[in-house]
Amino acid sequence: MGKDREKSGISRRGFLKSGAVAAGVLSLAGVTGGMTALAVDGSSSESEKASEEIFRGVCRPNCFGFCHLNVHVRDGNIVKTSRAPYSNPAYSRICQRGLSHVQRIYNAERLQYPLRRKEGTPRGGGEWERISWDEAMDELVSKMQSIMQQYGSTAVAMTQGTTSGAVSPMIYTRLVQALSLSFIVPGYDSASSYAMKRMTGSSDDWQANERTDLVNAKTIVAWGANITDAQVQQWHFVKEAKQAGVKLVVVDPTFTQLASKADRWISPRPGTDPALYLGIINQIFEREAVDEAFVGQHTVAPFLVRSDTGRFLRWSEVSAEAAAAKAAQEAAAQEAAMQAMQAMADQGEMMAGMAYQSVLAAMAYDDQPVVMQQGNPMPANESTTPDLYGTLSVAGTNCTTALTLLKESVVDMTPSYVAELADISEEEFLDLVAICLDSPVTHYVGYGPQAYLNGAQSTHAGMTMAALTGNLGYPGASYGSFWLMGAATDPMFAVGAGIGKGSLIADMDFPDVVATGKYLGNDYPIKMLFIQTGNPLNCSTDTNLLRNTYDQLDYIVVADPMMTDTAQYADLVLPVCQWFETEEATQNGETVAINFNEKAIDPLYESKSDTEIVKMIADRMGLGDYFPASSTEALQMLFAGEVAEAMGVTYDQLKEKKEVRLVPDEVYIAFPGGQFKTPHGRLEFYVEDPQTRYATHVMPTEEQLALEHLPHWFPPAHAWFQSEDARQYPLVCMSERPRFRVHSQWHSVPALRELDPEPIVKINPKDARDRGISDGGYVECFNDLGHVVARAVFSEGIRPGTLVYPKGWHAGQFKAGSWSELISNDYDVFSVCPNFMDVSCDVRPWAEGGAE
């Protein structure tokens, strides 16, 4: 094997002999130098080519890229991965991770056989016993059955991470449904998508214009987006837009590589993006810059809001005629729904219930919100030029337009106050206002701003800002990230053998459910956890608490290709094959396509595909008939049916074409012409009925519910200079995604470790000197929750009062601790999203054996 690697294009070939990696500090030149070496003439020699077979692979960590790769196979070994073409060459990319797959596939940390924790040794002790698949499956299923018998099926929980195949994650959710297991849903990135969904009604994650449209903007404003490293495959779109004359403005506390390429860099205090947006909204009103035509027709601006309930006033509350029509329609709907339910009675309670609900929904009375036109109330859909501001009294209740309420709500967000909150000068803030008012602007939003307690407010306020100036729905004008979900797969695939009775539980609530044995007030014991396609003990929050939660479980199973931090803590570890050892498709991401991944080689060692693993479990549980035996069969089931036919994404079409674009347009424009998927087709910057993303043991208070209709300002929980924590732990601790890993993946790839040998933390020299820390010395970052040791790297690009660490190192790669220990598990009750950046800590020099 090693011999084959020597022959391949990515063998060591003496690359990176330079000293650029000293002390873990990488200059850009160092990285580029390394990659030039890695990429050394990607072509194979003539004799090599003759014996080479090339398969189409799709690289699929959750980096939003889904690059198509040529997977070069010689003598049954993968010897190289190289760039393969997309139909749109703008998407034909490969990065150093894509180039180094060989070292990931033939990696010492690959799981080769099923492993059982040695009896009598503690979890995480690292002592394993190799067992056969039969033994592994018999043990797993007998544990599962005995727990199910004693506590019910929902005492077995499944969870997953974000690796982005089509079958891989869904085959497990099919099992969850079939067996009525509990499902622990990761909340990663959900503050942004939650806020976006509730405003736009879109079932997709948050959307912006396709990145091929960046060139049509006057200015790109990058809010907390680390495009050069975290969307390395997208950076060229920004570069090309710049070359075409588009201005680039970066709003980021840190002087990132992107900031170094920008026309303007603004460094706000972390966690203040909602304040900046609300301040800009204040100025839009002050300067009478509202795009009245857009907000009147495409947002809920003119809708009257009842002061007593906070809900939109409905036409049936104003017109007696409409009230009568509504009552009649509702009675008819009730009757029809009852009949539909009775007709389905023999199909079981669930199907009958669904029939009832669907008839009710289909026959619902269209009770239009009320607007005023020249002071006269009328149904919204009948008005052409509704009044945007004003108040109407209806039966003694004041009703005010949503736009008036928004305007009143931002009165205090003056330039001087906002500048003070964000710790920038008032001039800088006013410049930012001018930039944002000069449409078309593409607001390219990353995941930094949403990773604080107020993260959902950031997206809510940002999208509202964009809508007020009509800066949405046309080329160059956009707000958000781009993450379109494929809709072609058979939605019933995950449902499988029935609809499960287990709850979907937010991951942030999981520790509470396990500790109390209750979910939403009811007894809900969870005793077993099955984890796949994710590495929560590395990537989640408060990992000391999470480990403690795991300690309360009877049995933990992890299915992964690698020995991860989470696998280390399991009782049973199942080796999953790597990406090019099975057929798979991907169905979301920045390239707007469904992609097909061929199987290039057989699974190495005794590893198996996720489909095979699930099938073995289902067989033993007596449900084998409901589960596909191979990935091919799974894909055939998944990409089937009318929608798949109509969209041209059946299994056969995918296999033949390798890539099917999901939308017909040449360049995808989000919300074209101001069309939204909300019930009224309008952007709901005023959220009529704020709902939490998941029910958790924390309920929103009346006061929180009342505030949640409109975007509003409140500070981060921990990362805030006036917070209680700040007195003890004055530094804000933020992560960045390095180009050497996607999350915790590629952590043990030798070529990348040579470039990036050990954990570092970047610190402003002044903060370092105040603490006696030297450049390149080991430091311990700590707070009440945990600690971590890394090498300090001095950088003037780090905002004083903050630290920045590249994320994704495995626990065993630190001298002590790990980053996720420092992050609290508290969350905003509405978005239920991890607050990855909302972290305060302090730092001190560290020597082997402890703090100095």
Return residues touching ligand SF4 (CB under 6 A): 59, 61, 63, 65-67, 93-95, 97-98, 232-233, 742
Q: Which two tokens stand for residue 681?
A: 């087709």
Please choose which of ligand SF4, Mo ion, ligand MGD, none residue 94 contacts, taking the beta carbon within 5 to 8 angstroms, the exact cut-off set by kind: ligand SF4
User: For the chain, what is the total number of helices (H) and then of strands (E)?
Assistant: 31, 35
Stretch that binds Mo ion, among 187-195, 508-516, 553-561, 680-688 (CB under 5 A): 187-195
**CA 372/CA 391 separation, integer angstroms:** 9
- Are the C-beta atoms of 562 and 111 separated by less than 8 Å? yes
DSSP-based three-state secondary structure for 744: coil
Query: Checking DSSP bridges between strand 787-794 and strand 760-763, what pairing results, if any?
Result: parallel
Residue 668 C-beta: closest distance to Mo ion, Å: 21
- Are the C-beta atoms of 157 and 184 separated by less than 8 Å? yes
* Site for ligand MGD, rule CB under 6 A: 61-64, 161-163, 165, 168, 188-189, 223-226, 229-231, 251-254, 256, 268, 270-271, 273, 446-449, 451, 532-536, 539, 559-562, 564, 576, 610, 734-739, 741-745, 807-808, 819-820, 823, 836-837
Report which residue type is found at 771: R
Residue 749 C-beta: closest distance to ligand MGD, Å: 12
Q: Which two tokens stand for residue 58?
A: 């799709």
Please choose which of ligand MGD, Mo ion, ligand SF4, none residue 256 contacts, taking the beta carbon within 5 to 8 angstroms, the exact cut-off set by kind: ligand MGD
Q: 17-55 burial, b if ≥16 CB within 10 A, otherwise e?
A: eeebbeebbbeeebbebbbebbbeebebeeebeeebebb
**CA 801/CA 697 separation, integer angstroms:** 34
Chosen residue from 34, 128, 189, 649 binding Mo ion by CB under 5 A: 189
Looking at beta carbons only, is 280 or 742 nearer to ligand SF4? 742
Please choose which of ligand SF4, Mo ion, ligand MGD, none residue 66 contacts, taking the beta carbon within 5 to 8 angstroms, the exact cut-off set by kind: ligand SF4
- Point out the residue whose Cβ comes nearest to ligand SF4: 98
What residue has token string 């539909």?
340
Looking at beta carbons only, is 100 or 464 nearer to ligand SF4? 100
Residues 6+ apart with CB under 8 A from 731: 767, 781, 801, 802, 803, 840, 841, 842, 843
Looking at beta carbons only, is 70 or 282 nearer to ligand SF4? 70
Looking at beta carbons only, is 251 or 637 nearer to ligand MGD? 251
Residue 69 C-beta: closest distance to ligand SF4, Å: 7
Ramachandran angles phi, psi of 322, nearest 5°? -65, -35
Please choose which of Mo ion, ligand MGD, ligand SF4, none residue 175 contacts, taking the beta carbon within 5 to 8 angstroms, the exact cut-off set by kind: none
**CA 193/CA 188 separation, integer angstroms:** 10
Residue 249 C-beta: closest distance to Mo ion, Å: 24
Looking at beta carbons only, is 231 or 802 nearer to Mo ion? 231
Asked if 509 touches Mo ion (CB under 5 A), the answer is no
Residues 6+ apart with CB under 8 A from 598: 55, 56, 57, 71, 580, 583
Looking at beta carbons only, is 66 or 206 nearer to ligand SF4? 66
Please choose which of ligand MGD, ligand SF4, Mo ion, none residue 9 contacts, taking the beta carbon within 5 to 8 angstroms, the exact cut-off set by kind: none
Looking at beta carbons only, is 65 or 186 nearer to ligand SF4? 65
**CA 293/CA 291 separation, integer angstroms:** 6
Residue 818 C-beta: closest distance to ligand MGD, Å: 9
* Residue 596 CA, distance from chain mean position: 22
Looking at beta carbons only, is 226 or 409 nearer to ligand SF4? 226
Please choose which of ligand SF4, ligand MGD, Mo ion, none residue 570 contacts, taking the beta carbon within 5 to 8 angstroms, the exact cut-off set by kind: none
Kindly tell me the burial class for residue 426, based on how many C-beta atoms sit within 10 Å of its own C-beta (0-12, 13-18, 19 or more).
middle
- Are the C-beta atoms of 795 and 775 separated by less than 8 Å? no
Please choose which of Mo ion, ligand SF4, ligand MGD, none residue 67 contacts, taking the beta carbon within 5 to 8 angstroms, the exact cut-off set by kind: ligand SF4
Stretch that binds Mo ion, among 189-197, 198-206, 342-350, 485-493 (CB under 5 A): 189-197
Looking at beta carbons only, is 63 or 717 nearer to Mo ion? 63
Q: Which of 257, 275, 325, 184 is nearest to 27 (CA)?
A: 257
Residue 68 C-beta: closest distance to ligand SF4, Å: 9
Residue 162 C-beta: closest distance to Mo ion, Å: 6
Residue 509 C-beta: closest distance to Mo ion, Å: 19
Cβ neighbours of 415 (radius 10 Å): 18
Residue 836 C-beta: closest distance to ligand MGD, Å: 4
List interacting residues with Mo ion (CB under 5 A): 188-189
